[in-house]
Structures are given as C-alpha cells and as structure tokens.
Homo-oligomer: A and B are copies of this chain.
Amino acid sequence: MPDSSKSNPFRFTLRVYWEDTDAGGVVFYANYLKFFERARTEWLRSFGFAQETLRLDEKLIFMVTETSLRYLAPARLDDELAVTVEVRHAGRATLDLAQQAWRRHVGRNAEQLLAEGTVRIACVDAGTYRPRRIPNFLAQALAR
C-alpha cells in the first residue's frame, strides 16, 4: 500500500521573473532560498497559520538556522516551478524540512528536479529570539 503522506508533499507553484535571474541567463542560486521560503510560508498558511499573526498573537517567530541545498539544473525566465515542503524531523523547538524545486511539465517535457535540500527552522520568542518549544496546537497540526 503506497504511503500517501510521502507521495503527496505540499506543493507551491511560482513563476520565474527577471528579478530572479542573473547574467548567466538562469535563476541566481541564492534565490532558491527565497522560493523555498515562499513555499514554507504557504505551507504554514495551508494549516491556517499566518506568520505575522503568529508573531503578534503568539509572540513566536520561526527562524531559519540551517540550509543545505544542491543545485542540479538551471531554471530560466518564464519557467513555472513547483516547490515542495515535507517534514523530515519534528523536534521540540525545531523542524527539519525537506524541500525540492521542480520545473513544471511544459509540452512534451517531463518535470525536472532543479534544486533540493533541507532547511531547519527554529521556534523562537519574537522579543528575545530565545529558542522556545513549538506550541502543541502547531506541532499537532504540522505533524498530520
């Protein structure tokens, strides 16, 4: 029986614009971190959590503490990308997320994996930036 939770990670689609490219004619590699961030933001929103609300109401910020990416193939202007988010490991105060960026299927071309990696985010107090436990309501929702 297939594990549907693994085969269907959260997907966020975006378009490549001029601002994302560099003089090599392709997406500047640092911008994949932005794409991954957008996907994580929409992934949280898909559970009903807006980061600005979490900051104001729960005094909670998710900070990125580690990123590890491999850049496999270039994306170009006008490409449509799909960025995935999956929980790899959920700790008391941190989450390890696996993320991938795919060029979406166009015409006869299959989807192509462009970049992938892991991002660790830590739950911190919005005032002191000290680590704090991920609230139960969040941990339970994200673990589903």
Report whether A65 and B70 are in contact in the complex, using a CB–CB cutoff of 8 Å. yes
Interface of A is mostly: mixed
Residues of B within 8 A of A41 (CB): 15, 17-18, 78
**Chain copies in the assembly?**
4
A47 within 8 A of B: no
A112 within 8 A of B: no
Report whether B71 and A68 are in contact in the complex, using a CB–CB cutoff of 8 Å. no
A125 within 8 A of B: no
> Besides A18-B24, A18-B37, A51-B77, 20 other CB < 8 A contacts?
A17-B37, A18-B28, A18-B41, A19-B37, A21-B22, A22-B22, A23-B24, A23-B77, A24-B61, A29-B33, A30-B31, A52-B76, A52-B77, A63-B71, A64-B71, A65-B71, A66-B71, A67-B67, A67-B71, A68-B68
